[in-house]
């Protein structure tokens, strides 16, 4: 409940940077963390826009031997999470400066193994979303994952995630509101239709419904 108050406070301060009506639920957090796949101990997981830290806590639990760095633009949320979660390094700053923040912490950006984003990329102003996605792709090594959650999977057509390949999406119906988890991997070169989210491989059949998480068949959502 306290998290909801903190979130509300952030919404009142700046609705556009928060871009949600409530913190994400634990089923969405579990889906985001599972989407990261297997990561080497000692590698760095970067989270953008942790808010009250629902994903951050889940990441720290699942990957206790990785460095978790969370970058949050709202000073109050960043300071509160920093105090509450000593396992993570919480930075008050902007997602456009991932490498700079890591260097200030004495961490080598080349050890970043995955980036998770809770950012409301669909509502951030001007070219900020493009600059953030550029920074993500500059930071990630080839093949590493970028996991983004969204309330509007189709609206992702607006974006041009250069050098990111769309792998799959999961719909978490039990979240309020229902949300999708989009999983990308960093490609070596921009695919010919860079900017379009497209299916590049058939997802492994899972046939399970876990905690309201429905693995969706990836399909070309740009058509």
Ligand X SMILES: C[S@@+](CC[C@H](N)C(=O)[O-])C[C@H]1O[C@@H](n2cnc3c(N)ncnc32)[C@H](O)[C@@H]1O
Q: Which residues bind ligand X (CB under 6 A)?
A: 10, 17-20, 23-24, 48-51, 54-55, 71-74, 77, 94-95, 118-120, 124
Three-state secondary-structure class, residue 89: strand
Residue 70 to residues 85, 122, 203, 205, 214, Cα–Cα distance (Å): 11, 20, 29, 32, 27
Instruction: Tell me whether residue 9 or residue 196 sits nearer to ligand X (CB atom).
Output: 9
**Shortest reach from residue 35's CB to ligand X, in Å:** 14
Residue 189 CB: number of other CB atoms within 10 A? 9
Instruction: Tell me whether residue 66 or residue 187 sits nearer to ligand X (CB atom).
Output: 66
Instruction: For 140-207, give the DSSP string.
Output: SPTT-EEEEEES-TGGGGG---TTEEEEEEEEETTSSS-EEEEEEEE-SS--TTTTS----SPPPP--
**Shortest reach from residue 201's CB to ligand X, in Å:** 27
**Shortest reach from residue 17's CB to ligand X, in Å:** 4
Instruction: Tell me whether residue 77 or residue 221 sits nearer to ligand X (CB atom).
Output: 77
**Shortest reach from residue 204's CB to ligand X, in Å:** 26
Instruction: Tell me whether residue 128 or residue 210 sits nearer to ligand X (CB atom).
Output: 128
d(CA 199, CA 212): 23
């Amino acid at each position: 409940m306290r998290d909801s108050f903190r979130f509300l406070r952030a919404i009142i301060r700046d609705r556009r940077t928060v871009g949600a009506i409530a913190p994400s639920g634990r089923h969405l957090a579990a889906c985001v963390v599972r989407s990261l796949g297997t990561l080497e101990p000692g590698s760095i997981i970067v989270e953008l826009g942790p808010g009250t830290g629902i994903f951050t806590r889940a990441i720290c639990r699942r990957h206790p031997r990785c460095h978790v760095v969370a970058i949050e633009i709202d000073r109050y949320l960043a300071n509160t999470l920093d105090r509450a979660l000593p396992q993570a390094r919480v930075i008050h700053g902007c997602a456009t400066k991932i490498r700079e923040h890591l260097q200030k912490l004495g961490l080598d950006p080349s050890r970043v193994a995955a980036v998770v984003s809770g950012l409301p990329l669909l509502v951030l102003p001007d070219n900020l979303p493009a600059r953030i996605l550029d920074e993500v792709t500059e930071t990630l090594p080839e093949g590493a994952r970028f996991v983004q959650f969204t309330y509007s999977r189709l609206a992702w057509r607006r974006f041009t995630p250069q050098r990111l390949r769309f792998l799959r999406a999961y719909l978490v119906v039990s979240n309020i509101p229902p949300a999708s988890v989009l999983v990308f991997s960093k490609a070596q070169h921009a695919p010919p239709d860079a900017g379009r989210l497209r299916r590049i491989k058939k997802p492994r059949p899972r046939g399970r419904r876990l905690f309201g998480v429905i693995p969706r068949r990836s399909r070309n959502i740009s058509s």
